[in-house]
Amino acid sequence: MVTVTLNAALDVTCVVARVLSALGQPTVVTGLCGGPTGRLLRNELRSAGLAEELVPVAGDLRRTLTVVSRDDGDATVFNQAGPLVQPPEWAEFTSRSVELVP
């Protein structure tokens, strides 16, 4: 199974792949990934034993922050903008994704 995350975020991208892996379903994570935050994501995937075929981009991977109210449990999610993807980076992603999907 291929997990595709075009606008990956350090703290949420691994969730689906981790769940699939825990259910015994082999998976490969792909998407667009760059910058220092992207390196952190690759390291997290590697340490979790998850295969990845992320396409490098010049821009930095986004982060998300979730704030949960102690009073009522409501959550607010703050999402950074993702990187600006250049045409050659997009072409590499589409080419790689065709190879990954049977």
CA 14 to chain centre: 6
Of 6, 9, 13, 4, the C-alpha closest to 64 is 9
Share of residues in the chain with pLDDT > 70 (%): 96
Strand partners, 64: 79
Query: How many whole angstroms separate alpha carbon 69 and alpha carbon 76?
Result: 8
Residue 70's φ and ψ, nearest 5 degrees, are: -70, -25
**Per-residue model confidence as pLDDT tens digits over 39-66:** 998 998 999 899 999 999 999 988 888 8
Q: Please give the mean pLDDT across all residues of the chain.
A: 88
Query: How many whole angstroms separate alpha carbon 66 and alpha carbon 48?
Result: 22
**Per-residue model confidence as pLDDT tens digits over 62-80:** 888 889 999 999 999 998 8
